[in-house]
Chains A and B, each alone.
Chain A
Amino acid sequence: MSAPLLSLKNLGVSFRRDGVTTPAVHSLSLDIQPGETVALVGESGSGKSVSALASLGLLPDNADQRGQISWKGQPVDTADEAHMRSLRGNEIGMIFQEPMTSLNPLHTIETQIGESLRQHQGMSMAAARDRTVALLEQVGIPDPELRLGNHPHELSGGQRQRVMIAMALANQPDLLIADEPTTALDVTIEAQILDLLADLKRESGLSMLFITHDLGVVRQIADRVFVMRDGKLVESGDVTSVFTAPQATYTRDLISAQPDGIRPDAPVQGDPVLDASGLKVHFPIRGGLLRRTKDWIRAVDGVDLTLRQGQTLGIVGESGSGKSTLARAITRLVPSEGRITLDGVAVPNTGATALKSFRRQVQIVFQDPFGALSPRLSVGDIIAEGLMAHDIGTDAEQKQAVAEALQEVGLDPASAGRYPHEFSGGQRQRIAIARALILKPRVILFDEPTSALDMTVQKSLVALLGDLQQRHQLSYIFISHDIALIASISHDMLVMKDGVLVEQGSAETILTRPQQDYTRALITAAKRKS
């Protein structure tokens, strides 16, 4: 066998801050052979991205790096800036997670791709232009000549990621390092990008180091897998053997955390709790001298839904489908047209006083576990807020209720005095759920509550929600981009696209007999991962 393309031996990384050293990676060794795709999998904080950055010498100044890195059999000194620069972009290409922030918004596509061609290969303007067009064609951008003068904001997310790939490929690198390249994309777009990467690999024998948290992606694209946890290598091997016969418990947990199947308990025909009909949210687009309304953005355009007692209604949609706006409209956080009834009683459209009893009955849990809790209040104060707002109970009773709510979501009641930053993402989401629970609502909306969380955390959170639902006969509206997750927890499902409902029905019907092409595309994209 020839020398591996990239080889890491006992790579260790630690960060210094305020005199404290925090280890991030402990002695990681891996080889990448020519033409091979290696996936580095792990949850947040596992050290997977740090390892990739270390191999390119891109770590910040406060990092200490140990171990040996060799490129094509030659040891590499990552401190040698000049040498590293000739490797980066020239022999090793890199793509990042966020295509919007990785591209310079002020330059055209042509300038951004052409820059590295002229810099590394000394091409003339005209030659660089031809090469750029060829590259854009290769990554599947239609009408590449017309796109040259575009700025990044004129492209869609998927197209931007394609441009990023074109930039990475510009100098025909031998190795492509991709750090979560599809995480920010919708599933249908993700599938296209993964196809593109697979094609590139087949055509040009490109090697790839693919960093991701998503096992479904790994299964589609990788030859070999390295599973990392807390900076340590947990398991490695070729894809099929790791997936079919995982050795480490952690790998088994990761694989079993992938949502699949449909909710086992059959839907009980409960009474309708919440009913919405003809729900519309339109945002005006203003323009002209007098800022008259020229047009409307129809974020939600005529949605009907019924939520039954004790059931979960899942809403699936990709970014921009209006699903979050719908959640805010149902909870009366944005003004909307249409009718909402709770237990058959119409809910007023606005007015803090008029909505007071509605607010006790219907609660919402948001996506971002970091943004949803005020960083300046203690956990106890955050959870007790609803009680204070509705003047329920004395101080001592409120304290008692907070302790019970914390216990109910599986947190230590003694943690009421601590602040949100002391908790992990999953724990914060539990705090947010406790805050929603304390008013003993009948309906809770969840707006992508798990999409910022790791898979194993998502699994335990979903289990907690199921528990709470049974215990308190709660009705849920659960919103997610992940059709597999929705199908595994919902009784009824809605599929949303561009502000309207595409399809609705029981989870089983939609998953097995989808009527619409869009639903089918979503299901196919999800199925490829499992």
Chain B
Amino acid sequence: MTDLGLNHRRWQNFRRNRRAFISLIIFAICFGLSLFAELIANDRPILVKYRDGYYAPIFQFYSEQTFGGDLRTEAIYGDVEVQCLIATGGMEACWDTPETLIEDAADGVIGGDQISRGWMVWPLIPYHHSTIATLDVPAPSPPDADHWLGTDDTARDVLARIIYGFRLSVLFAIIVSVMASAIGIFVGAVQGYLGGRTDLLAQRLIEVWGATPSLYIIIIVSAIWRMDFWLLVFLMTLFSWTALVGVVRAEFLRARNFEYVQAAKALGVRPLVIMFRHVLPNAMVATLTMLPFIVTGAIGSLAALDFLGFGLPSSAPSLGELTLQAKQNLQAPWLGLTAFTVFAMLLALLVFIFEGVRDAFDPRKTFA
């Protein structure tokens, strides 16, 4: 099996598993869309035409003065006055009767005068995850035409929050998994390859490390520093890299006596080169089998920390925080149902995908 042929066969095996393949497609679409969350759910328009210029407020800061207003702060595009200014090309009268002016401006003529008619292209969901909407009813408000999944108890759009929250969870899980795997593989490789005293010492250290209660450490750290995304990534990585060490170490212990490894040694190849060029590929399959547990574990841990209030600040769009709100607002079932559905789908998709990956890498199935 060449690498090419082998990987091709694995891909064929994966595709044959319909459930995993469909899960992968759905997940890829969801994640791909969520990467462009700013263009889907935002309280700034994607494109503004004002007088003769075009503006892209999502990517750049424009003060209200840019559109003929008074304030030097960023224009609030949701305000009817600002909308009027843009539609009419900056008419003073917007401060008095914005609604009628906007209606008037539709045909490009106001009071017989030709005006420079402007327009805005809004994202599908005109709310950012941090936008606090103006509501006619007390928050949390139930789903309606404006807020498709309702709002939470600070009047933020739930749909916007789960789009951003989905992205945050998945990115968090991917970053933690990649970093934890890199460290775990390196440590496992060194342990397994060198063996002996190094191995013994590192094993004991890892046992002690693995027994450290990570939750308490995170609570202590969050009491000292303000928690943010990268600090949490760092803390999670600190406690999840040990998962991989065992399997990688075992593979290295096995492979270091392979004849081609011995042959490389006899050629005078440096240990580090032997480890990564000859032995590591053997450990990759075992690593891939472990990876799903790390990824789903990271998503679960982030949600749990947010739910307990030790995770990201409550302004961050977090699925765990949504769950916490659901618990505090039992009268608003749309919060709980949404959080549950998103979690169930996300974890189920990942589990199905990784199940397919694992089967595709199973040598018995690869060569069947």
Contacts and interface: CB of A to CB of B under 8 A. Distances in A.
Contacts of B266: 331, 333, 359, 362-364
B201 interface: no
B269 A375 contact: no
A376 B263 contact: no
Nearest to A373: B260
Contacts of A356: 268
B212 interface: no
Interface in A373-427: 373-377, 385-386, 388-390, 419, 421-422
B270 interface: yes
A372 B2 CA distance: 16
A374 B260 contact: yes
21 contacts: A331-B266, A333-B265, A352-B271, A355-B268, A360-B268, A363-B266, A363-B267, A364-B266, A368-B259, A372-B259, A372-B260, A374-B278, A376-B3, A376-B281, A388-B269, A389-B264, A389-B269, A389-B273, A419-B1, A432-B263, A435-B263
A389 B273 CA distance: 9
Contacts of A364: 262-263, 266
Contacts, number: 64
Contacts of A371: 258-260
A435 B266 CA distance: 11
B194 to A, nearest CB: 12
Nearest to B260: A374
A352 B273 CA distance: 12
B269 A385 contact: yes
Contacts of B265: 333
Given A371-B258, A419-B2, A366 B263 contact: yes
A461 to B, nearest CB: 17
A377 B277 CA distance: 9
A359 B268 contact: yes
B3 A390 contact: no
B6 to A, nearest CB: 9
Contact of B1 (A360, A367, A421): A421
Contacts of B271: 352
A412 to B, nearest CB: 18
B259 A390 contact: no
Interface in A408-452: 419, 421-422, 432, 435, 439
Given A375-B1, A376-B3, A328 B267 contact: no
Contacts of B281: 374, 376
B98 to A, nearest CB: 68
Contacts of A385: 264, 267, 269
A389 B267 contact: yes
A386 B262 contact: no
A372 B269 CA distance: 15
A386 B268 contact: yes
Top 9 nearest A-B pairs (CB, nearest first) are A359-B268, A372-B259, A389-B269, A366-B259, A386-B267, A371-B259, A374-B260, A419-B2, A364-B266
Interface of B: 1-3, 258-260, 262-271, 273, 277-278, 281
Q: Which of A419, A422, A439 has the most CB of B within 10 A?
A: A419
Nearest to B262: A333
A385 B273 CA distance: 10
Given A376-B281, A421-B2, A366 B270 contact: no
Nearest to B258: A371
A168 to B, nearest CB: 30
A432 B267 CA distance: 12
B348 to A, nearest CB: 32
Contacts of A366: 259, 262-263
Contacts of B3: 376, 419
B251 to A, nearest CB: 14
B284 to A, nearest CB: 10
B260 A439 contact: no
Nearest to A375: B1
A389 B263 contact: no
Interface string A317-354: 00000000000100101000000000000000000100
A422 to B, nearest CB: 8
Nearest to A378: B2
Given A366-B263, A368-B259, A374-B260, A389 B270 contact: yes
Contacts of B258: 371
A297 B277 CA distance: 33
Nearest to B261: A374
Nearest to B9: A18
A158 B258 CA distance: 27
A352 B270 contact: yes
Contacts of B269: 385-386, 388-389
A389 B260 contact: no
Contact of A352 (B1, B259, B268): B268
A336 to B, nearest CB: 15
Interface in A221-245: none
Nearest to B263: A372
A376 B2 CA distance: 7
A228 B277 CA distance: 42
Contacts of B268: 352, 355-356, 359-360, 386, 389-390
Contacts of B270: 352, 389
